Amino acid sequence: MGGMNYDVYSQIKLQTMEVYGNTLCELAAKHPDIVALSADLAKSTKIGLVQEKFPERFFNVGIAEQNMFGIAAGMAKAGLTPFVSTFAIFTSMRGLDQVHTDICYQNLNVKMIATHAGLSFGAAGSTHHCTEDISIMRTMANCKVIAPADGYETANAVVAAYETPGPVYIRINRGFDRLVYEKADYGFEFGKAVSMAEGTDITIIACGSCVYQAVEAASVLRADGIKARVLNMHTIKPIDKDAVLKALEETRRIVTVEDHNIMGGLGSAVAEVIAESGRACAFTRLGIPDCFSMIGLHEDIMAFYKIDTNGIAENVRMLLGREIEEDEDWTDEV
Partner 1 sequence: MPLTENELLELEKKAFELRCLCVDTVAWAGSGHIGGALSAMDIFVLLYYKYLRINPKDPGWEDRDRFILSKGHAGVGHAPVLADRGYFDKELLKTYNHTGSDFGMHLNSQKVPGVDASTGSLGHGISIAVGTALAARVLKKSYLTYCLLGDGECDEGQVWEAAMAASHYNTTNLILFVDRNHYMIDGPTENVMKLEPFADKWRAFGFIVKEVNGHSLRELSEAADYALEEKTAPVVIIADTVKGCGVDFIENQAISHYMGLDDEKIRQAKESLQRYYENRVKGA
Query: Is the torsion defined by CA of 310, 115, 113, 137 positive or negative?
Result: positive
In sequence order, which residues have a C-beta less than 8 Å from that of residue 55 and are 6 or more positions away? none
238 in contact with partner 1 (CB under 8 A): no
Shortest separation between residue 55's beta carbon and partner 1, angstroms: 12
Which C-beta is closer to partner 1: that of 5 or that of 101? 101
Report how far residue 159's alpha carbon sits from residue 124's, in angstroms, rounded to the nearest whole number: 30
Whose Cβ is closer to partner 1: residue 107's or residue 277's? Answer: 107
Please select the residue that binds partner 1; options are 15, 45, 98, 209, rule is CB under 8 A. 98
What minimum distance in Å lies between the beta carbon of 76 and partner 1?
8
Cβ(143)–Cβ(167) below 8 Å = yes
Residues 52-91 as x/- pattern, contact with partner 1 by CB under 8 A: ----xx-x-xx-x-xxxxxxxxxxxxxxx-----------
Query: Which among 93-101, 174-182, 214-222, 318-326 is the span making contact with partner 1, rule CB under 8 A?
Result: 93-101
Those residues whose C-beta lies under 8 Å from the C-beta of residue 149, and which sit 6 or more positions away, are: 177, 180, 181, 206, 207, 208, 209, 211, 212, 232, 234
| CA dihedral sign, ordered 106, 111, 117, 123 | negative
35 binds partner 1 (CB under 8 A): yes
Count of residues that interact with partner 1, criterion CB under 8 A: 29
By beta-carbon proximity to partner 1, the closer residue of 91 and 203 is 91
Nearer to partner 1, 15 or 98 (CB): 98
Is position 162 an interface residue for partner 1 (rule: CB under 8 A)?
A: no
Question: How far is Cα 18 from Cα 45, in angstroms, rounded to an integer?
Answer: 8
How are beta strands 34-38 and 168-171 bridged, if at all?
A: unpaired
Closer by beta carbon to partner 1, 102 or else 150: 102
CA distances to 41, 128, 160, 296 from 244, rounded to whole Å, are 37, 32, 22, 33
* Chain contacts with partner 1 (rule: CB under 8 A): 35, 56-57, 59, 61-62, 64, 66-80, 97-98, 101-102, 105-107
